[in-house]
Each structure stands twice: as C-alpha cells, then as structure tokens.
Chains A and B, each alone.
Chain A
Amino acid sequence: MEGPGLNVLALPTGALVVWTGALLRAENEAQLAQLLAHELAHDRNKDFLDQYHRRLDTSGVVALLGVAASGVGFGFVGTPASMAALDAKYSHTGAQERDADKTGLEMAAAAGYDPSAAIAPWRAADADFLKVHPSGEERLVALQSLAQQVPARAWIMGADSHRAATAPWLERWVGEELRRDGDTVALFTRLAVSGRGLCRYGLGEAYRKRGLTGDAALAATWFRAALAAPDAPPLAWRGLGLLAMQNGDKPGARAAFAQYRVMAPDADDKAMIDYYLAQL
C-alpha cells in the first residue's frame, strides 16, 4: 500500500499489507524479511481472529468484516486510513507481540535471513507504529537474545538487492515522507547513513522545511552531500535553489535552479522554476 510511515499489517484473510514507508525504512532484505515474518507470525498464530472474537460486541466488527471481505483474493484491502485505523483498533497484546517476535524471527532465519536484522526495524519505528506495536528497550534486548540463540550460518543480508529493487521508487517514497506533517529530520538522519543521494537530499529538505536556527546551513550541507553521491539527484539542486531563494541569495538561487533545469529538463514543476528564474 502506497503511503508514508512504517507499517505492516496481517489480515485474517491471509493478506499481508505492507506500506511503502516500510520498504523505504528497511536497509536490506533481511530487515524487511524480519518485519514481514513478524506479521506472518501474527497470522500463523491467528492473533487477528483472537482480537475479533474478543471484540464481537464492538462497532469495529463492521469495519473488520468490510475490510476482510474486500481483501479476499485481491490486492485491494482498503484505504490507508481505514487500514491504519483497523490496525490501531485491533492492536495485539504484549504476549501476542512477544510470540510473534519469536516465531517471526525463527521463520525469517529458517529462510536464511540474518536474525540480528530483526532489531533495526523496531529501533526505527515511528511513534504511530509503536502505538500498536509497543517496543522499548526490554523488547529489543529480548530480540537480541533470541537472535543469539539461533545457530550461526551464512546469512542473507541482501543490501545490494534491496537497494536495486527500491531504486526506481525511491524518489516517490522520499517525496511522500517529506510531505508528511511533522519533523522528518530524525527519519532522514537515519536513512542518509546509507549514502544514497536521494536520502541525503531528503535530509537536506527536512532541514530546509523545518527552518529552525541553524537548519539552513545543515540543509545546504546535505544538499551538497547529495550532489556528491554517485546517484546525485537533480532535486538537490532544486533544494539548494529554494533555500537560496528563501535566504535572499539571488545569484545562488539562479545558479542552482539553472542546474536543476539542466539535470531535470522535464521536471513536473519546470514552469514554476522557470518563473522563479525569471523573477530572480
């Protein structure tokens, strides 16, 4: 399901709903596999149906039935808001989460994915996700302990394959996150470590949009870091241009926008950029 934020949801129909924000946040295949395996474990343990039985007397059943019906056999399972609301309404108990952690980790490990990768997604989780998937240091320690109990072997991490598979979508997903309301600096600080040009651009744009004291300099630093990456995104030039324009640096804005137009001649906002250039 296309949408920002980290979320994955197993439905009683067997459908597994993965937000694109989860694909963006996973650093490699192993982390994604561990996240998916955790949700599959909820499905295997029939946790969702358990929630359903315990809430038979609530109005939420109607919504559950609607989503369950629409999810049978098809990719479509509902709108992101309805799915998120359902996920929040039918949050699992602590015991169910602990069981899913253990079962999921073992399932992903059986498929060859590094058990230690089970921890990173929870460290990177958003506040919204943690409302329904409570984390905390205790859980991370438990996961670490479980991971250490799995006999060592040659594990799959799949960093390069994950990077290659997500590359065509990265600009779209980064844009989705940047359009979210709120401070995205923390998210992109973590993602920028990957060295991917678009993630560095995302951090620059997160600083530019936040606009606190000192953020302009940090934004410029990260836009330039994005342009130094092997996959330098043209958007970093636009970011530099917008930043310079906001700061009254007309020559800087002109130069950056001109570069953006050269590197992205068919940019969706080219008419607006040309207008900026004409006014500067």
Chain B
Amino acid sequence: MKRAALVLCLGLMGCAMQSMDAGDDASVGNGVTVRAEPGFAQIHLAGMRYWTRHGTGLDELAFYTGIKEGEPLFRVPGRRIGDMPVYRGRMTPNDIQDLVVASLAKKKMQNVRAGALRPCPFGSAQGFCFDLTLANDEGLEMRGRVIASAHGGVLDLMVFTAPAQFYFAEVSPAVDRILASIQVK
C-alpha cells in the first residue's frame, strides 16, 4: 500500500520509480555498483538517482557520481545551475566536506553541519566519509552520512539523509550494507 501510494505520488510529480530486487547489483553511474537491500525503491528525479525505503523527504540515499571539474554535485529544481557551488579537482576531502554542506544549504537544508571526517573504503578504492546533522526547510531535524571518492579529477558521492527521530536509525543498517557493497569498475 505504502509503495503504491509512493508510485502514485511520484507519477504525479513526473518522475520515475523502479522497484529493485534485493541482492541484485545495481549500477549507480560512473562504473559504480551497489547491492540492493530489501524494501528499497529507486527513483529518478530531475536527472538524479535516489534510493528510498519510506519515500524521498524521509529516508533518501542519493547517488551523485561522475562529477567533473566545474560541475555542481546536484541540481536543485528552481535554482539556476550557476547558483550552485561546484566541484574542483584540486579539492581535498576537507574541501569536499565543505562543498557538500554548501550544496545542501542551496537545497534549503538548514543548519547543515558536517563532522568526523575520516578515511573510508569506497569499494576497492580509497575514499572518505563524514557525518551530517541538518534540518529540512520545515525545521525537521535530520541526520546524514556521506561517502565519497575522488580520483582523476572525478568525484563519486553518496549522501544518505533521514529524520533523526526513528528513520535514521531504522534505515541506517541497510544503508551501511549498501555502502559496504560498493564496487568500482
């Protein structure tokens, strides 16, 4: 029922949703694949790819892959692309952390804070990750986790966000397994 409502809602919004079979490897762009977990749906919205269990706006695992020099991490509907901060190949992980914060702020996320920047495996590649606290435009407190890898001037990024109350803890274990399944070709 919940999934049917989500499909109807997304259909009305003009975006595409695909169900996924748990255990299948799914391509998320730029030669990166991750393994699907039970209960997730994949949504293509405004040219971007999200996985969600309860619906975007609640839990949301966003895949921003293949970002090149001078490109924004993502597009925000209604905002000119020139208004978005852009990735630079010379950015360090510290800078990319700041870039994510600045980009989320353009998405009307409030009080975005990042912390615990640390190295993390990104499939067989070396990556880094950090944690987020933020609030949506209605003040709902949220938490997040980001994993990224930058090689050869190209950035791959995955951003998980969910309300701090209930949803983050409920979905996190599955998201952790998805992120642990990253493979880079």
Contacts and interface: CB of A to CB of B under 8 A. Distances in A.
A81 B92 contact: no
B102 A272 contact: no
A140 to B, nearest CB: 29
Contacts of B95: 209, 242
A1 to B, nearest CB: 9
Contacts, number: 58
Contacts of B94: 238, 242, 269, 272
A79 B140 CA distance: 10
B119 interface: yes
Contacts of B118: 269, 271-272, 275
Contacts of A245: 92
Interface string B29-42: 00000000000000
Given A271-B117, A271-B118, A271-B119, A81 B137 contact: yes
A180 B84 CA distance: 11
Contacts of A81: 108, 110, 137
B137 A268 contact: no
Nearest to B138: A79
A180 B102 contact: yes
Contacts of A268: 115-117
Contacts of B108: 81
A79 B117 contact: no
B110 A79 contact: yes
Given A268-B117, A272-B118, A272-B128, A2 B111 contact: yes
B85 A242 contact: no
Interface string A1-35: 01100000000000000000000000000000000
Interface string B62-95: 0000000000000000000001110010101111
A233 to B, nearest CB: 15
B135 interface: yes
Given A82-B137, A179-B98, A211 B88 contact: yes
Given A180-B102, A181-B85, A269-B117, A79 B135 contact: yes
Given A268-B116, A271-B117, A242 B92 contact: yes
A79 B98 contact: no
A268 B102 CA distance: 19
Interface in A77-112: 78-82
Contacts of B138: 79
Contacts of B54: none
Interface string A172-215: 00000011110000000000000000000000000001010000
Nearest to B118: A271
A2 B111 CA distance: 7
A167 B82 CA distance: 35
B128 A246 contact: no
Interface in A247-278: 268-269, 271-272, 275
Q: Name the residue among B102, B105, B106 with the largest chain A CB count within 10 angstroms.
A: B105
Contacts of B135: 79
Contacts of A246: 90, 92
Given A181-B106, A209-B95, A79 B90 contact: no
Nearest to B116: A268
Nearest to B102: A181
Interface in A198-236: 209, 211
Nearest to B140: A79
A178 B116 CA distance: 18
Nearest to A175: B98
Contacts of B93: 272
A256 B66 CA distance: 32
B152 interface: no
Interface of A: 2-3, 78-82, 178-181, 209, 211, 238, 242, 245-246, 268-269, 271-272, 275
Going nearest first, the 6 A-B pairs with the smallest beta carbon separation are A271-B118, A181-B85, A269-B117, A275-B119, A272-B117, A181-B102
29 contacts: A2-B111, A78-B139, A79-B135, A79-B138, A79-B139, A81-B108, A81-B110, A178-B98, A179-B101, A180-B105, A181-B83, A181-B85, A181-B106, A209-B98, A238-B94, A242-B92, A242-B94, A246-B90, A268-B116, A268-B117, A269-B116, A269-B118, A271-B117, A272-B93, A272-B94, A272-B118, A272-B119, A275-B118, A275-B119
